[in-house]
Amino acid sequence: MKKFLSLILACFCVFAFNAKIASADSAMTRIKDIAKVQGVRSNQLVGYGLVVGLNGTGDSNKTIETLQSVANILRQFGVTINQADLKTKNVAAVIVTATLPPFVREGDTIDTTISSMGDAKSIQGGELVQTPLQAANGEVYAVAQGAVSTGGFTAGNGSSNTRQKNFPTVGTTPNGAIVERTVEDDLGANGTLSLSLAKPDFTTAARITDVINLRFGPIARAANPGRIDISIPQYYRGNVVSFVAGIEDLPIVPDNVAKVVVSERTGTIVMGGDVSVDEVSITQGGLTISVQEDTDVDQPAPFSYGTTVVEKEADVNAEEAPASSIVLPATSNVGDIVGALNAVGATPRDIISILQAIKAAGALHAELQII
């Protein structure tokens, strides 16, 4: 099994190496996939509400917030009742969350997630009462209401006779919130916009700047490894959307840091094609020690007064496999490393230890990350 894993690892890493020396088209991607326009972002919304209509699976009378909320709602409709007289088995206090996408307008609908915050057993089949959703600034941007779909259930009438599927205390309401206020930034209003890189990198930022300037003229400047400032050409001022679409569709070859990621728990090794090593000598061998205990019985001579004695003897054997040595020349690529290590019979876990030793010796020119 270990040899099979080693073979699979070698094949994978050789493929990674071949992908590196292939044509540049194989590494091409769009600017849209590695960067985004600053200001085009979502906003998180949250609200507190009640789910009603439950079949006895709501909060108990020990949940004070539910009792207070029910009493407040009834008071708004002109019904005054003593809070101590309320029964809330069919009601659950919930937190409602949603994400407000960019450029949505008033009247658009968004999805919501409803999570029980009390001791309700299930909110399956309930109805969310009208709940305002606000942003971090305290302003209300949407209002949620609708039937709750949990995708799970709880059945039974006792702790030892209950069956549960998924999490019936968390549900969703597709298109359950109506947008009441628009969060809209006038994109490019001052004649400029900025791109934000998903992974800041000096080389990638410089390449993006060059590609944009080659297509539209000298309008882009890399302010730092994570941001590129762009001046919108005059003839695009009235059509910023087309200008951004043209930038996002430009091809680019991003640059990546050489990295080796290993998982000691599973013996998984993933290495990029830019990994290289200095000339290094590696010796790999194994020591096997086995201890076997035997039981001997000594019988006394006939007609003697001796007694039977049981003795235990330990047989210790030690075997050391012949050490295998390899020398990797300088500028070895990832295919050479794994191929040579597999040639001496190293398992994936052996390779992890060897890579750690090479990194400690300063011969591995890559970031070694252990997860």
With 70 as the cut, is the pLDDT of residue 325 above it? no
Q: Quick one: average pLDDT of 82-107?
A: 88
Identify which of 337, 329, 323, 346 has the alpha carbon closest to the alpha carbon of residue 366.
337
β-sheet with 367-370: strand ranges across: 268-271, 259-263, 367-370
More confident residue, 73 or 272: 73
What is the pLDDT at residue 3? 42
Report how far apart, in Å, the C-alpha atoms of 370 and of each of 260, 264, 366 are: 8, 7, 13
More confident residue, 301 or 88: 88
What is the pLDDT at residue 79? 83
With 90 as the cut, is the pLDDT of residue 350 above it? no
What is the pLDDT at residue 206? 94
For 206-232, what is each residue's pLDDT tens digit?
999 999 999 999 999 999 999 999 999
Which stretches within the chain are classed as H helix? 2-21, 31-34, 64-76, 202-216, 240-248, 334-343, 348-360
With 90 as the cut, is the pLDDT of residue 39 above it? no
Share of the chain above pLDDT 70, in %: 73
- Mind giving me the DSSP string for 180-212? -S-----TTTTSEEEEEESS--HHHHHHHHHHH
What is the pLDDT at residue 295? 65
Cβ proximity of 149 and 51 under 8 Å: no
Query: Residue 363's CB: how many other CB atoms inside 10 A?
Result: 18
pLDDT classification of 12: cutoffs 50, 70, 90? very low
More confident residue, 283 or 52: 52
With 60 as the cut, is the pLDDT of residue 157 above it? no
What is the pLDDT at residue 26? 40
| CA–CA gap between residue 358 and residue 366 (Å, rounded) | 10
**DSSP code, position 296:** E
Determine the straight-line distance between the first and last CA of the chain, rounded to whole angstroms: 23
What is the pLDDT at residue 142? 96
With 50 as the cut, is the pLDDT of residue 113 above it? yes
When mean pLDDT is compared across 71-85, 114-128, 211-225, 309-323, the lowest value belongs to 309-323
Q: Which amino acid is at 40?
A: V
Q: Quick one: average pLDDT of 324-338?
A: 63
Highest mean pLDDT among 73-87, 102-116, 340-354: 102-116
Q: Quick one: average pLDDT of 176-204?
A: 87
- Mind giving me the DSSP string for 261-293? EEETTTTEEEE-TT-EE-SEEEEE--EEEEEEE
pTM over 0.85: no
- Mind giving me the DSSP string for 204-253? HHHHHHHHHHHHH-S-EEEEETTEEEEEPPGGGTT-HHHHHHHHHT-EE-
- Is the dihedral angle over the CA atoms 104, 106, 108, 111 positive or is it negative? positive
More confident residue, 85 or 313: 85
More confident residue, 166 or 41: 41
Q: Quick one: average pLDDT of 305-314?
A: 67
| CA–CA gap between residue 150 and residue 172 (Å, rounded) | 6
3-state secondary structure of 32: helix
- Is the dihedral angle over the CA atoms 194, 199, 201, 204 positive or is it negative? negative
| CA–CA gap between residue 302 and residue 204 (Å, rounded) | 93
CA 34-40-43 angle, 5° bins = 115
pLDDT classification of 249: cutoffs 50, 70, 90? very high
Helices and strands of the chain, counted as H and E runs: 7, 23
**DSSP code, position 76:** H
What is the pLDDT at residue 228? 94
What is the pLDDT at residue 328? 62
Average pLDDT, the chain: 78
| CA–CA gap between residue 267 and residue 355 (Å, rounded) | 13
